[in-house]
Each structure stands twice: as structure tokens, then as C-alpha cells.
Structure 1
């Protein structure tokens, strides 16, 4: 069992832990089977980074760092649990610090990296003498009783309460998140981490408890059997842990494949999309080419592309949308408004997706130059053409594309169409 700690240095013999990690130094948990995290270990770092002490508030830079680091550990905790690991959290005394966001200063709590789970702690009041829970937790809290000194109760926590005060307040909880486990335990007694015998006792009883949790529903075995694990048992446990890690790796690969396929499908709306997404895809093509793109503040189906010397007003035409006199007049009025606002020339580019319900071979190969007649400084490309431009390497910039349109480059549409057909099927381009 590979055991790592986060912001918790235990006085153990060399190699007693797989890794000793720090919250402020993001790292991977891919090797860990168990992570023991002490959130209180971050408090001194936050105190040193505060720009205001009463109430404590972090500076803007420190706030951005803290939120980004919390997101990292949140993802690592998720991966640990998904790989069949166990996350052990030592519940600290409740404390918050203000962090700057775009809108306001919001409180940051130690439990932020555990989101979306709801975990809230509160200061202990009155008698905190613990009431024992059922096995395997009873053995943990009995044999390692001197290891713990609760400094907070859990007002909200996932799973079941496994240790309570005399008045019924939760001191520890356990949540099964198959194939992983989340265990919230009381804080360690002061000085225990530096006591070699105490640290070894804590780790030994914790591992014994985790082993007994297992995944064998309805099976209850005596505690002594945990110390008699045979080589065959060790092999099975090791193989199971390896399989869980392999399954998690496959899940991550599937997520990445789904992301890549979804991104390709997003841009394929240019040649096969039949909804408003075609316009969003057209805007994103220009954005991916390295220029700023904004949605028009009046006409929601128009986008403004900022080029070096001018802007470009982009409109994706969908099926059933006419390009009659009224439509052309609307485009011209929008162009005049944008030109006046930015004080820059603003040509119009219509991306024609009206035939997207048809396969490329069924679409008319002829280009009707009279479609935009009466609309000055306006150009048209089909969704097929813009998709081909998207597939090309970043050599052809938006400014170069507009220049070729303005020069009526006879080869432009043919080259872009060939790029699209190559991207759809090598046979189609042959």
C-alpha cells in the first residue's frame, strides 16, 4: 500500500511513506493508494500571504494562486478516488481567509478542494469526549486513541458519522465512493507527528482500518486476520489496485478522446450544422487563428473580427434564411454602426451554411456572385470553404484571407474546398 501525506510530515523511518507532499507545490497522486491530508498545514502559508490581517484577506496574486492550486488538488483527489484510493482528511479548527474574485472578496474554507462535496466544520463547544462507533472504526479509535485530539466537529459531511461527541456532534465520518473511500478524521494530537512511536501507531492502525473497509459487502472478519495476510492475498490486493489504476487511466484516455471528438464535431457545424452553432463555429475559427472576436452587441447572429487595419463583420447564413433586400439592408446597417463605433473600415463576410443538410457532392458547384449585389465591400464563403480554411496550417492569417477575397483570388475557393474534402475523406479528394 503506497501511502503519501499532504502537509503532514510524520517522524517515520526512511521509506515509511511513499511521498511527503506540500499543498503549495502541486504534484501528482498517481502513485498513491492512500493520501493523508492535514489542511491546517496550509494556514501558515496563507497567513504570510495576507494583504490584510483583520479580517484576513489575500492579495489578488495570492488569491489567484490559491484558487488555481485548489483546483489542482481537487482534480488529484478525484483521480485518487476514481483509482480505488483512500483520501484521509484530518479535520482542522475552522478558519477562513478572504480571496479576491472578479466580483467580490469571498471566504475560502479549508474544505474547498473537496468540492462538490459539502463539508463544514465548527469549533468544539463543551464536552468532546468521543463515543465509539462500529467496526472497523472502533478498533482505530480505541487502539490509536492517544493519536487524536479533535479541534472541530463536522456540521456537514458526506457519508456516515463514525465518531461522535457525548452530545451527538460528528467528529469523524466515512463515505464510500466506489471504488474509492473518503475518511474525515479528527486532528492529530499536538506533537504526535514528531513522535516516532506515535506516528507509527497512527499509520499502522489507519492502514489496518482501511484494509478492513475493503469492498466485500456483508463480510465481517475478526481483526486478527488483518495481520495474517498471505502472499496470495497480497498478490490479489496488489493486482486489484493495479487494475483500478489501469481502469482509471483508460477513463482518462476516453475523456480525452471524447473531448477531441467533440471539438472536431463543433467545427464540423460549418459544413453540416443546421443550428445557431454554425455561427459560433465560424467565430471560433477566426479566434483560433489568433485574432480577437466579439459577439455584436445588437445583432446576436453577427460577430466582429478585429484585424490589423480593419474589422470584419461575420454572418453565418442558415437554412431558410433569405439574402433578400431586407437581409442585406440589415447587414449594411450593422456594418455602418460597427464602423462608426470603432472608426475603422468594416467589410462583411457571409458564411453560407444554407445547404448544410446536403452532402458536399449534392451542393451546387456554382458561385452566384450576384447574391450580395448592392452590398459594397461584402464577400461570401460557404461553410465548406471556411472549414477548409480552419483545417489549414496557421500560415494563412485572417488578414491574408480577407486580402485574397478583396482581390477576387480565383484559386481561393477551390483550394479551400480541396482542404475540406481531404479532411473529410482521403477518397473524396482523390
Structure 2
């Protein structure tokens, strides 16, 4: 039984393990029968790479790397289980790190490589003696009891619970995924990194437990047999290779479809978005129109758009945000600060998405207008901003602002028509 580890330090001689792997160095699991994965081992490296510490958020480059690496291990785990192998994950204390995606900053959880399985850990409560399940798990948790130090319970987990704490919360689970199996076990005691006897005991009892589960690991045959395949074997291998090529092509097509759909949905937040993502979509519209855009360094819901002769302070108004005196005062203070920093005149544009919960036909007509109470401040409905996004090439950002400043009567109608063309199915559909 070839056992490999991933981000797990054990005081064992080199010959005890087939491979010692690191999450940040993608590798193949084709030789492994059993992989013991310690998700907690990655977090120190992630926290060191954070661009922000409270809450921890990775930079854009580090986020892209993490998501790509997580996809690699997800595929390797899938291959391991499909080959009859065993994946053992040591449940860590719940901890997340923010990663940049196209839509927003989202929390990355240790269980991401296990997707689509739903796994969620939560802080352990109390120190009561655990309650064990039946064999072969009872022997594992009895004989190797000193090797485990639970630091979390499982709020969600695939399969059946095999160990509970004193309050009946799940500490470990087992899922049969023929021909493979998934074991979620409690975290190991930290001293197993120096305690050779303890590490050897854990490995011995884990091996014995897996052998008693009644499922064999992947069959291993001598290499010479591949050179003497019969016609039936050759036909099966050829068909399998063809299926793999077709599946790969479909996977690539699905990835491209998912990417295109996600991008369209991202910008549709201007029409129907009810969260902060609408602000990110509005900023990206200006970027796509070749205007430099920066997030405001003080107010998280404002963006600064650099135009040829001036700057534009961009604010997206959501359903629960009134345009009252306090809101106008905050916008004016931000405008003064930005204008002083860049030494350029600064206009204000409020993209009004307050009616996004309603379909366009149910919304009260609202034309763009000067924002009353502020000088050089304008309102553009989210419907119209989306229409401007769809126009190719359409007005430049400077031209759009100029038409707003001139109260161009045709602007709202032309942008609304562009939006509705993008929403209405073709007549022959």
C-alpha cells in the first residue's frame, strides 16, 4: 500500500512513505494508494502572501494561483478515488482567506479541493470524551487515540459519522465512493512531527483500518503485460482514449461557456444586482471603455475614473441607500478629497440601481438628471449604464459625461434601447 502525504509533517524514515508532497507544488497522485492531506499546512503560506491582514485577503496574482492550484488537486483527488484509492483529510480549525474573483472577493475554505462534496467545519466546543463508532474505526480511534487532537467538528460532511464529541457533534466521517473512499479524520497531535513512535503508530493503525474496509486499492500489474494486450483489451483501451479526448473537448467547451456566462452575469448586476458587486460592475464598464479606474482609498463603495480633463467619482446606489443629506455630504467630502489629491476637477456620477429588484417594465420611468443638492453631480440609471456597456463602440467616457452635463434629451432613450435589445429574445426564437 503506497501512502503519500500532502502538507503533513510526520517523524518517519523516508522509506515509510511513497511521497511527501506540498500543496503549493502540484504533482501527480498516480502512484498513490492512500493520500493523507493536512489542509491546515497551507494556511501559514497563504497568510504570508496576503495583501491585507484583517480580514486576510490574497492579492490578485496569489488568488489566481491558489484557485488554479486548488483545481489541480481537486482533479488529482478525483483520479485517486476513481482508481480505488483512499483520500484521508485531517479536519482543520475553520479558517478562510479572501481571494479575488471576477465578481468579488470571496472566502476560500480548506474544503475547496473536495468540491462538489459539501464539507464545513466549525470550532469545537468542550473537551468531553468522544464517542466512537463501530469497527474498523473503533480500533483506529482506540489504538491511536494519542495521535489525534481534534480542533473542529463537522457541520456538514459526506457519508456517515464515525466519531462524535461529548455533545454529539461529528468529529470524523467516512464516505464510500466506489471504488475509492474518503475519510475525514480529526487533526493530528502536533508532536507527531517529532514523535517517530507516535507517527508510526498512526500510520500502522490507519493502514490496518483501510485494509479492513473490504475495498481493494487500485490493481497493480507488471509493465510487460501492457505489451501483450489482446484484441478485446486493445478495443477497450482505444475506446477509453477516444472517450477521454471527447470529455476533454467538452470540458474545455464547458469552461468557455461558464466563463462567458459568468462575465455576462457580472455586468447584469447593473440591471438586477442587489449587492456591492454592482459597484464593481459599474467600475469595470468604464475600464472596458479604456478609462483608468481606481477603488477609492477611503470609501469602499466609491471608484475614481480618470478622464481626459477631469476625474469622475463613481457611486452605485443600491435599494437600501437613500440619497439624503448625509449621503450627499459624504459624496461631497469624498469629491473634495479626491480633487485635492489629484489636483483636477472632479465630477460625481451616481449609478442608480435602487430599483434592481423589479423588472424594467415595472420600474417608474427615470431619466438621467443633475443630482439636486450638489454641483457638477449627475444620476444615470443602472439600466442606462448597462446599455452604454452594450454599445460598441458607443460614446467614450468623456463624451458620456459631456452629454450628461448638457442634459442631452436623447441619451436616456438611446441607452435604454440598447439595454432592451440585449434583454429581448430575437423574434424568431
Q: Report the alpha carbon displacement of residue 202 of structure 1 after superposing the two structures with TM.
A: 0.3
CA 1:102 to 1:32, structure 2 compared with 1: closer, same or farther past 3 Å?
A: same
Aligned to 1:240: 219
Deviation by residue 1:274-316 (Cα, 9 ceiling, x = unmatched) = xxxxxx9xxxxxxxxxxxxxxxxxxxxxxxxxxxxxxxxxxxx
Aligned to 2:46: 46
Distance across 1 between alignment mates of 2:168 and 2:27: 38
Aligned to 2:90: 90
CA 1:140 to 1:252, structure 2 compared with 1: closer, same or farther past 3 Å?
A: farther
CA contact (8 A) 1:85 1:181 kept: yes
Aligned to 1:167: 167
What is the aligned length? 250
Distance across 2 between alignment mates of 1:340 and 1:9: 57
CA contact (8 A) 2:140 2:205 kept: yes
Unaligned 5+ runs, structure 1: 216-236, 266-279, 281-337, 343-430
Q: What secondary structure does 1:15 align onto? A: helix
Matches within 5 A, 1:7-18: 7-18=7-18
Deviation by residue 1:308-345 (Cα, 9 ceiling, x = unmatched) = xxxxxxxxxxxxxxxxxxxxxxxxxxxxxx99969xxx
Q: 1:256 aligns with which of 218, 236, 244?
A: 244
Distance across 2 between alignment mates of 1:168 and 1:203: 27
CA 1:30 to 1:56, structure 2 compared with 1: closer, same or farther past 3 Å?
A: same
Distance across 1 between alignment mates of 2:239 and 2:157: 27
Aligned to 2:183: 183
CA contact (8 A) 1:5 1:35 kept: yes
Q: Report the alpha carbon displacement of residue 250 of structure 1 after superposing the two structures with TM.
A: 8.0
CA 1:67 to 1:239, structure 2 compared with 1: closer, same or farther past 3 Å?
A: closer
Q: Report the alpha carbon displacement of residue 13 of structure 1 after superposing the two structures with TM.
A: 1.7
Residue 4 (1) aligns with residue 4 (2):
yes
Matches within 5 A, 1:305-316: none
Q: What secondary structure does 2:15 align onto? A: coil
CA 1:150 to 1:59, structure 2 compared with 1: closer, same or farther past 3 Å?
A: same
Q: What secondary structure does 1:69 align onto? A: helix
Aligned to 1:358: none
Residue 37 (1) aligns with residue 37 (2):
yes
Distance across 2 between alignment mates of 1:54 and 1:156: 27
Q: What secondary structure does 2:164 align onto? A: strand
Matches within 5 A, 1:97-108: 97-108=97-108
Aligned to 2:27: 27
Q: With structure 1 as the length reference, what TM-score do the two structures score?
A: 0.54
Distance across 1 between alignment mates of 2:237 and 2:176: 21
Residue 69 (1) aligns with residue 69 (2):
yes
CA contact (8 A) 2:12 2:200 kept: yes
Aligned to 1:129: 129
CA contact (8 A) 2:83 2:217 kept: no
CA 1:262 to 1:106, structure 2 compared with 1: closer, same or farther past 3 Å?
A: closer
CA 1:259 to 1:171, structure 2 compared with 1: closer, same or farther past 3 Å?
A: closer
Distance across 2 between alignment mates of 1:35 and 1:62: 25
Aligned to 1:156: 156
CA contact (8 A) 2:180 2:217 kept: no
Distance across 1 between alignment mates of 2:199 and 2:238: 36
Deviation by residue 1:170-199 (Cα, 9 ceiling, x = unmatched) = 000000000000000000012112210000
Q: Report the alpha carbon displacement of residue 242 of structure 1 after superposing the two structures with TM.
A: 4.9
Deviation by residue 1:233-283 (Cα, 9 ceiling, x = unmatched) = xxxx6883559xx999889734423247879x9xxxxxxxxxxxxxx9xxx
Matches within 5 A, 1:327-366: none
Q: Report the alpha carbon displacement of residue 102 of structure 1 after superposing the two structures with TM.
A: 0.8
Matches within 5 A, 1:191-202: 191-202=191-202
Q: With structure 2 as the length reference, what TM-score do the two structures score?
A: 0.54
Distance across 2 between alignment mates of 1:241 and 1:8: 26
